[in-house]
Chains A and B, each alone.
Chain A
């Protein structure tokens, strides 16, 4: 009997809440759009080129991506310090949930390095771990919508660092430098020349990253530009697309770097001509 008397009250309460939510949404949707200081074209162009909205970084005029990158680094390093101090010393033989996630992250990149670079995988494992963590979390960074003031005085949401072409180029060049360095160290001049043949690698790496991240940024910018779309769609578009291309780009860059690194450090077979000459000489 008591249940029967309680249920109608609960239903009335839920209906009341739904009504409030619906009316609030309707009011917000019917509000006139806020004053825009940029057109959608300008927003998209700035999203790609970052020509207008500059930010100050130690008195330097930089793209928002630089601020985002250093913010992400600060957050990641702070998290790493907390993990190092509070979690890693409590690691157990049978891992708990957090330990399992951390071990999985390390083992994923280390395993990928071992799989693609059979001969020397120690350094590349560490590199793709750091690069992977950076790409993944810096891409997710745009979801949080941290605000920063531009030099023009406008508030601006910090974008993903890699949506700045300079960050993408930096990643591509660093990855290529590591591959080239490994080729030179392990294979000498011949190994270095082998890597130099793939001179398009840094360009492809950089622009792949930039294009993938930029596409996410543009979609998000487009969605957020229109107020009416930003109530429902960002949840799906923002989170899903960002998560998806964060994971994909992390995986792609880590795989490419480990494969090219593996090829660079692979021991080269002796040249046939020399061996033929030697054989003739011995005959």
Chain B
């Protein structure tokens, strides 16, 4: 077939055949494996990115959870601290009250004991004083009193008593006479 510009169908077909062979070879040997490698790498990167995103989300969740726990722990600590302070205040107040009660009891007991001791001392002092007075008196008397003096005193006493009695009798008679 004579076509212008030396166009030849057979040669066109030969060129097509050549290109088909080349295209098939290049596709199988280069394009497909390289595409597969690039896609695999991209997929690996996407998976890594997804993993990183999930890890980041997990980290954020853990951080929030941690912050929440910290805030709740702080609140709990504050509450416990408050409760402990209250308990401590109650305990200390109870201790103080008990101590005061004990102190009062001790004071009362001490006062009672002191009173008792005072009374006892006073009693013993009175006894001792009596004994001392008696002793002193005895000593005093023992120096001056003798049997003769005792007899003289008794005699004097009896005489005075008789005189007193005689006077009273005389005064009674006078009053009787008057009556």
* Chain A interfacial positions (CB closer than 8 Å to B): 48-51, 57, 60, 62-63, 65-66, 69-70, 72-73, 76-77, 80-81, 83-84, 88, 91, 93, 102-103, 106-107, 110, 125-127, 129-131, 133-134, 161, 164-167, 169-171, 173-174
Contacts and interface: CB of A to CB of B under 8 A. Distances in A.
Contacts of A127: 23
Contacts of B7: 165-166, 169
Contacts of A88: 30, 33-34, 37
Interface of B: 5-8, 10-16, 18-19, 21-23, 25-27, 29-35, 37-38, 41, 44
Interface SS of A by simple majority: helix
A93 B45 CA distance: 10
A157 B63 CA distance: 74
B82 to A, nearest CB: 59
A129 B27 CA distance: 8
Contacts of A93: 41, 44
Given A63-B11, A166-B11, A133 B26 contact: yes
The list of the 9 closest CB pairs from A to B, nearest first, reads: A170-B15, A130-B23, A80-B29, A166-B11, A73-B22, A84-B29, A167-B15, A77-B25, A106-B34
Given A80-B26, A127-B23, A165-B5, A60 B10 contact: yes
A161 B14 CA distance: 12
Contacts of B6: 49-51, 63, 165-166
Contacts of A171: 15, 19
Nearest to A77: B25
A66 B132 CA distance: 164
Nearest to B38: A103
A173 B12 CA distance: 9
Contacts, number: 117
B150 to A, nearest CB: 145
Contact of B16 (A49, A62, A77, A173): A173
B145 to A, nearest CB: 140
A168 to B, nearest CB: 9
Contacts of A164: 11, 15
Most buried by B among A63, A93, A130, A171: A130
B15 A76 contact: no
A257 to B, nearest CB: 13
Contacts of B18: 66, 69-70, 73
A272 to B, nearest CB: 40
Contacts of B34: 88, 102-103, 106
Contacts of B32: 126
Contact of A131 (B16, B23, B38, B44): B23
Contact of A106 (B12, B13, B38): B38
Contacts of A50: 6
Contacts of B25: 73, 76-77, 80
A123 to B, nearest CB: 10
Contacts of A76: 22, 25-26
Given A69-B14, A129-B30, A174-B16, 16 more contacts: A66-B14, A66-B18, A73-B18, A73-B25, A83-B30, A88-B33, A103-B37, A106-B34, A125-B31, A126-B31, A130-B22, A131-B23, A134-B22, A161-B15, A169-B7, A173-B16
